Amino acid sequence: MSQENVELVLRSMQAFNDRDVPALESIHSEDLVFRLIGGFADLMGTEFRGQDAALGWLKEWTETLGGQEEIETIREVNERVLAIVNMEATGAASGVDTTMRIGQVYSFRDGRISALDAYYTVDEALKAVGLAE
């Protein structure tokens, strides 16, 4: 099962990079929970419940900042998948390019991603799965 979950996350990231909403919908459960932890959470909200809310937030993010995910590290940890990601974005108003190194922790149910915890810092994501950098 572990390789299947890693492959599912890889497909999700590719669909995000391609802006392929139908693929994202097929990969994520309808009751998906997307949580922002740290950083932007105070400005953007901390939790988005349901596929419409979560994917709607991602659409808003990409319209405002663009964004491409590049995987630095990905691995299964206790039936979840940890991804350390370099997120490239460009400010819509400022035009300034930036790269953020973030941690993402994915949970699964019935062959789909059921939760995504997006940590502003890699250290927090590692702690969430019981690891350290």
Domains for the chain: give ranges and CATH numbers: 2-128 (3.10.450.50)
pLDDT at 28: 95
Which token pair is 56?
Answer: 């709607």
Cα–Cα nearest to 85, from 116, 115, 50, 109: 116
Q: Please, which residues bridge with residue 101 across strands?
A: 86
Neighbours of 94 (CB within 10 A): 8
pLDDT tens per residue across span 78-116: 899 999 999 887 766 777 787 889 999 999 999 999 999
Task: Place 59 in a pLDDT band, splitting at 50, 70 and 90.
Answer: confident
CA dist 85 and 70 (Å) reads 6
pLDDT at 1: 47
Global confidence as pTM: 0.88
Contact 87, 1 (CB under 8 A): no
The whole-number pLDDT of residue 128 equals 93
Tokens read off for 81: 């998948």
| Per-residue pLDDT, 100 | 85
Which of 119, 76, 86 is CA-nearest to residue 17? Answer: 86
Higher pLDDT, 67 or 6: 6
